[in-house]
Amino acid sequence: MGTDRINGSLFTNIENKIATVEFGHPASNSFPSILLKRLSSEINALSVNKEVQLIILKSEGEKAFCAGASFDELVAITNQEEGEAFFSGFGNVINAMRKCNKLIIGRVQGKTVGGGVGLIAACDYAIATEAAAIKLSELTIGIGPFVIAPAVERKMGVAALAELTLTATEWKNAYWAKEKGLYAKVFETITEVDNEIETLTNKLAAYNPEALSTLKKALWENTNHWDLLLIDRAKTSGKLVLSNFTKKALEKFKK
């Protein structure tokens, strides 16, 4: 059973040099801003924790992996400063993940939308079930996946990013995502995914930590400008969310 906490939950378990970070939220594991801040801080802390050699990122339950950023907060945005702060949420997490000294393995059990796709793309290696379809639906409400786009493009390429973005109402299945590079492996069941992750992480945790850390830096070469890039992208989205088109599109979602 998942959490019923309105601000979501975040738990970390460290065992055999492997830190398992699990996030959850009653709204399909979506992220309110406060939970994104907690995740960024947790990844930064684990990055310098000498007892940790590897990180597994997962979400609660057996259904959705992540429904993106909190829609309630999106609807409530009234000015550009609020918009920029809102859209910076996933950008800050992505930057924390890319700068983390530890390799991050993603465990994806179900559907993922919007910012959650960026979260998977920021993992160094991701394993998923057949149920782990993805979608970028931002264009349908007059904005775009600008903040997460660099991470998605880096992992899947410009063509896949364009296809995901332009077919904003369509789900892409897990095997499509694997073909494009988002997932390393896809299995039928969650049990198979967990077994594969356990085998992989136990092997990695036994390797030279200096080699793993150096590999992490090599994998993320030429991304140092992302600190500024993702903030700039958040400003772009912060402006668009205030447009008449987006305001009208969001009216039907207001409570």
CA distance 38 to 120: 17
Tokens of 175: 């095997």
- Enumerate residue ranges in the chain where pLDDT < 50: 1
- Using left for φ > 0, alpha for ψ between -120 and 50, and beta otherwise, residue 37 falls in alpha
Tokens of 149: 């786009």
- Using left for φ > 0, alpha for ψ between -120 and 50, and beta otherwise, residue 61 falls in left
Could you give the percent of the chain with pLDDT greater than 70?
97
Q: Is the dihedral of CA 98, 100, 104, 109 positive or negative?
A: negative
Contacts of 139 (CB under 8 A, 6+ apart): 165, 166, 168
Tokens of 85: 């702060």
Kindly report the pTM of this predicted structure: 0.96
pLDDT of residue 1: 47
Check if the beta carbon of residue 134 is closer than 8 Å to that of residue 112: yes
* Beta strands 103-108 and 54-59, pairing class: parallel
* Residue 107 burial (CB count, 10 A): 24
pLDDT of residue 250: 84
